[in-house]
Amino acid sequence: MPPDDSVYVGHMLEMARKAVDKVHRKRRADFDNDENLRLALAHLIQIVGEAANRVLPTFRAAHPDIPWTEIMGMRHKIVHDYLGVDYDIVWEVVTVDLPVLVRNLDRIV
């Protein structure tokens, strides 16, 4: 039996929290100078997107406040255009978008 949507949404929440925690008290310069941090954050964003992709369309439609298409699109960008990953966007996603996503997913879970 495949996992249900709550498993994937919970995984999205867990990975988004990990990413946000990794930049706690970090400045942009810290991010720019730490390749391991950049790679870790890109990977966590990728996982959030993969989990979002596995959530059923009916569940996604019931929660339009979550930017499902953008989340999945970011995952595709990191996976399929790995040479063109824009780390300015990764930083913005982790510092601006993911904290909002965490709050919204907390309401669902």
Residues involved in catalysis:
75, 80
Cα separation, 18 vs 69, in Å, equals 21
Cα separation, 70 vs 38, in Å, equals 20
Query: Which residues neighbour 46 within 8 Å (Cβ) at sequence distance 6 or greater?
Result: 75, 78, 79
